A and B are shown apart, each in its own frame.
Chain A
């Protein structure tokens, strides 16, 4: 694997991907903490995983044992939450819709 330490530039880039705002003063501490964690996680490199399939979810591993128990249902239409319930927690709303900021920046 390539260089593990996450520098401040990388923290800023990843924060952008994660829609988080990290203050300049916080970049150093985050970089240090995340680098420490990733340095420890480097130990996984030592494990021989050649030919080993990914295990992403326990349910996919037992489908062959329990396929009769994993039910599917017909795609039937049922009532879902109405607009008033859905909007009940909206921080801002107008005309029965969520009101949000501009999606397109002004020139």
Chain B
């Protein structure tokens, strides 16, 4: 049982119970993969039993009823430890429920546990977790990608059917790509960020990850509800897309214009490039037209992002001071020393590096040169997309130039590491929706795939195209 929809049919037709489905997922969990920070077996069993009782009474509240899921440990869950994979929050028990956690709970889904991530969302390999690295279930010598590596791994190993990750610079799309699953970053402002531990507030977005675009659509119906707790969430009304997605076939590509910037593809390794070109051929053979576009400022995305994101992070992470919650290391009985000790011992190396970079970029004498400049370049990147979308419906792009990296073999050069995010960062800078789809395998038999980037608030149209593609590849549910 791999998808929400497939499992839903099995539950509805009484082929299995929610409790049996949960037990099957729990038995798939591998300690070795280290996807989970907290496994919530008791709560999951109680939720599964409740779901079964409702099913027995013929009560169905949603497709998510009885479905095992996991939550990236950045989503605040009331009464249940939430760590952001950081020592500084190692014992933090939230006194309130965030929007995403609440949405799944109210839908009757079954929480398997809180999954690992790169600390505070900072990283692309899930090697930066204070709880140890996560392994790629498809090959234990490889990373699952990050920062939502735990989410991707929990789906790939079969311990959950769907997971909520987040995406600030590619953090759901890259692990989805490395683990052969679907990852969707909605348009910025489409989903409430209430209860989502902040990394970079103008870039962060909650991101459903699963085994099909249909499943993503199921989740997005719940996530697109207007939440009064987030004033930065636009009220476009709740998405109603599942019935449309069920009707979509390959015909949907007819007449669609796919924007392509060939130099992005040329930057990929040969085996990834082959899969990308095959995906494009499939779209062309089903009626789509490929339109050449230019994105002249895209090459500056990584630099712009690493200024903006680290500046915002330096502000967002200033709240972790050892005073109200989390790790405290008192020192010399002096308050300022306690702040410094707590933060320095509580945060990991990558987090400290990014805080330093952000603080420097915002400091007196450097604000204009770095932060303002990066924000102006951000506008140019967004304008490039606006211009491209005059001539196409959606933009085709790689997710990563290679398949999943080896564990521990990540480039020691920080710049090279950050360049891994080149293809995913632009959509976050411009606030656009982006959908990572699995397609094909590399020479090493690891998954390859691509992403489609849509117009701002064109999430439904993007999901429909993605669904059409998966139907073309023979995927029903």
Q: Which A residues are closer than 8 A to B by beta carbons?
A: 1-2, 6, 10-11, 14-15, 17-22, 30, 33-34, 36-38, 40-41, 43-45, 47, 49, 52-59, 61-62, 66, 69-73, 81, 85-86, 88-92, 98, 100-103, 105
- Asked if residues B363 and A14 are in contact (CB atoms below 8 Å), the reply is yes
Taking CB atoms, residues of chain A closer than 8 Å to B441 are none
- Asked if residues A91 and B322 are in contact (CB atoms below 8 Å), the reply is yes
Separation of A24 and B376 alpha carbons in the complex (Å): 36
- Asked if residues B325 and A89 are in contact (CB atoms below 8 Å), the reply is yes
User: Which residues 225-254 of B sit at the A interface, judged by CB distance below 8 A?
Assistant: 226, 228, 231-232, 234-236
Knowing A20-B355, A49-B380, A62-B456, the reply to whether A41 touches B303 (Cβ < 8 A) is: yes
Taking CB atoms, residues of chain A closer than 8 Å to B380 are 47, 49, 52
Binds A, one of B2-10, B108-116, B337-345: B337-345
State whether the Cβ of B27 lies closer than 8 Å to any Cβ in chain A. Answer: no
Taking CB atoms, residues of chain B closer than 8 Å to A30 are 353, 356
Q: Which residue of A lies closest to B352 (CB)?
A: A20
Tell me how far the C-beta of A54 lies from the nearest C-beta in chain B, rounded to whole angstroms: 4
State whether the Cβ of B324 lies closer than 8 Å to any Cβ in chain A. Answer: yes
- Asked if residues A89 and B355 are in contact (CB atoms below 8 Å), the reply is no
State whether the Cβ of B370 lies closer than 8 Å to any Cβ in chain A. Answer: yes
Set B91, B337, B360: member contacting A34, Cβ < 8 A: B360
Taking CB atoms, residues of chain A closer than 8 Å to B415 are 36-37, 40
Tell me how far the C-beta of B385 lies from the nearest C-beta in chain A, rounded to whole angstroms: 11
Set A18, A45, A47, A69: member contacting B234, Cβ < 8 A: A69
Q: Which residue of B lies closest to A57 (CB)?
A: B202
Q: Which B residues are closer than 8 A to A by beta carbons?
A: 91-93, 95-96, 187-189, 201-202, 226, 228, 231-232, 234-236, 297, 300, 302-304, 306-307, 314, 318, 321-328, 330, 333-341, 343-344, 347, 352-353, 355-357, 359-360, 363, 369-370, 372-380, 382, 413-415, 418, 430-431, 456-457
Separation of A48 and B95 alpha carbons in the complex (Å): 48
Q: Which residue of A lies closest to B94 (CB)?
A: A89
Taking CB atoms, residues of chain A closer than 8 Å to B306 are 37, 41
Q: Which residue of B lies closest to A33 (CB)?
A: B414
Set A11, A59, A86, A102: member contacting B232, Cβ < 8 A: A59
Taking CB atoms, residues of chain B closer than 8 Å to A88 are 93, 95
Tell me how far the C-beta of B335 lies from the nearest C-beta in chain A, rounded to whole angstroms: 4
- Asked if residues B93 and A54 are in contact (CB atoms below 8 Å), the reply is no
Separation of A92 and B335 alpha carbons in the complex (Å): 13
Knowing A47-B300, A85-B95, the reply to whether A19 touches B318 (Cβ < 8 A) is: yes
Set A36, A55, A69, A86: member contacting B382, Cβ < 8 A: A55
Separation of A45 and B318 alpha carbons in the complex (Å): 29
Knowing A43-B303, A100-B335, the reply to whether A11 touches B356 (Cβ < 8 A) is: yes
Tell me how far the C-beta of A32 lies from the nearest C-beta in chain B, rounded to whole angstroms: 10
Q: Which residue of A lies closest to B368 (CB)?
A: A1
Taking CB atoms, residues of chain A closer than 8 Å to B314 are 18
Taking CB atoms, residues of chain A closer than 8 Å to B236 are 66, 69
Knowing A20-B340, A59-B188, the reply to whether A90 touches B324 (Cβ < 8 A) is: yes
- Beyond A22-B352, A37-B357, A66-B234, 12 additional pairs, beta carbon < 8 A: A34-B357, A36-B415, A37-B415, A40-B303, A49-B377, A53-B379, A58-B431, A59-B188, A70-B235, A101-B330, A102-B334, A103-B335
- Asked if residues A58 and B202 are in contact (CB atoms below 8 Å), the reply is yes
Knowing A58-B456, A88-B93, the reply to whether A44 touches B373 (Cβ < 8 A) is: yes
Taking CB atoms, residues of chain A closer than 8 Å to B324 are 86, 89-90, 98
- Asked if residues B377 and A47 are in contact (CB atoms below 8 Å), the reply is yes
Taking CB atoms, residues of chain B closer than 8 Å to A47 are 297, 300, 373, 376-377, 380
Separation of A52 and B378 alpha carbons in the complex (Å): 10
